[in-house]
Structure 1
């Protein structure tokens, strides 16, 4: 089920490594509590030719919220500096399997670039299979990128509040069941516990296999349906800070549902504003 616009296997990437217009991106990112340095790990070992995408730096520096989507100008500038542009087939991976790479997949699509896929299983699977890694910096050649911002793919708090009241689009939360229910504390200080009223819960781990790869489309669809998501209605995905919501968006795209968007501020924004209503308990 390799699809160069959503998800490709390690076998697919290995077969296309020498394609002149292939660009590989390491988009590893971790919670601060893990104490990991994704750039240092990239410098030590990455898939040959990969560029490093700094999710926190390639973001909207004017926002107080973490790693919000950057302006089109900043995205174009950073991609040109990385040698990524029009006509390239992009494959994004991360060190966990399928975790932060879908965020960068979504950012490319937000900017109108559709020839981008996530590497299923990521660096962990690539290394487990004994495939090559290197510590060399890539050779960069400038490439222009034309950006066409897709407004319908991102939602703000006002739009999400309206969806919460009206029941459409549906809001689907990727956080764990415990965080969604408000029975577990939030990892970021100052946030209330609970969820956006009316939202559904599809923990992102429910979409993944034990080896970090994404489940087959039938199982992905079942996860949403079992959570009470109406597949005939549009969806807004949400999470803690806009990272794992994009795993849900990738899964929806994999099952042919393309009327989805991401609440970029997610619970980091909603949970910090006292005037925003919250619910606790299961959906």
Structure 2
């Protein structure tokens, strides 16, 4: 009887693991995730930016990664180190064969950042919850305020892959050569130089405008009203209209790199294009000395 029980348990866990693997593509639906909340092969991680969101209620069993401290270097402007991120993932119960599902607030911007950073370090089976917190809450799916009891995992990351990350030198070179497409995913007003940063955002620059040669496809054009990504064919048509068809490498940027991570995900993971995310984005480029800027609106920084 004990053997039979163990066999049934093993079979059950194998079925659960198969269910996790059966979710094809880079996105998971809210329906699939709710059905797999008790699946030991699935690890859910929230990456939100607004304080207290996770504590007020999160997807049951989810771990919490704080973007401001966990996914970045808190001393210098950089992404989290491999060692730091690997330790966090293990604390969150992530194993080498786990399926990692990321989600968060503000339309999954920072969850997409998390997906990009994990990609830089070679993490496998990383997916976004399509629609993020917005859709999960709109559908009245379960939330918990209890801390999950997590067993430490054994995941191992790789060294950072520079092919997924653009530097300011890469952006300048792409602007000059035209051999790499540059996609500015900010609002039309930011792109034109009418505003340097959206109202209420503190991180800014001393120059307005955009990288010469960059095309503007605002991140919001890639999503539906409920927060989910548009279907792949619609995304392909959207970017093709701006001349972005995957025929040459792409660099995405925004203001601090989080919105551009969202577009990086659409282009790289959903459409399969070759894409680097420029996480320095406009707060680096617009503050840099000696780089060219296109500023159609002619806005001049006043120090206020």
Deviation at 1:195? Answer: 0.6
Match of 1:6 in 2: 26
Deviation at 1:78? Answer: 2.1
Query: Which has more radius of gyration?
Result: 2
Deviation at 1:165? Answer: 0.9
- Are residues 1:51 and 2:63 paired? yes
Structure 1: 5+ residue stretches without partners: 30-35
Shift in CA distance, 126/255, structure 1 to aligned 2, threshold 3 Å? closer
Q: Deviations over 1:44-84 (max 9, x none)?
A: 10000011111111212342x4xx31121121122223222
Contact 2:25-2:270 within 8 A present in 1 as well: no
Match of 1:119 in 2: 129
Over the aligned positions, Cα root-mean-square deviation in angstroms equals 1.8
Deviation at 1:161? Answer: 1.2
Q: Which has the higher contact order (CA 8 A, sep 6+)?
A: 1
Length-normalised TM-score, structure 1: 0.89
Equivalent pairs, count: 270
Q: Deviations over 1:187-218 (max 9, x none)?
A: 43443111111111110001011111111111
Higher mean C-alpha deviation, range 271-280 or range 44-53 = 271-280
Provide the C-alpha distance between the structure 2 equivalents of 1:228 and 1:281, rounded to a whole number of angstroms: 20
Correspondent of 2:274 among 253, 256, 259: 259
Higher helix share: 2
Correspondent of 2:177 among 166, 182, 186: 166
Shift in CA distance, 122/85, structure 1 to aligned 2, threshold 3 Å? same
Match of 1:156 in 2: 167
Contact 1:194-1:278 within 8 A present in 2 as well: yes
Length-normalised TM-score, structure 2: 0.84
Contact 1:4-1:117 within 8 A present in 2 as well: no
1:1-283 superposed matches below 5 A: 5-29=25-49, 36-37=50-51, 40-58=52-70, 59-63=72-76, 65=77, 68-148=78-158, 149-186=160-197, 187=201, 188-281=203-296
Provide the C-alpha distance between the structure 2 equivalents of 1:85 and 1:158, rounded to a whole number of angstroms: 36
Deviation at 1:85? Answer: 3.4
Match of 1:32 in 2: none
Contact 2:205-2:282 within 8 A present in 1 as well: no
Deviation at 1:254? Answer: 4.3
Deviation at 1:95? Answer: 2.1
Higher mean C-alpha deviation, range 240-249 or range 96-105 = 96-105
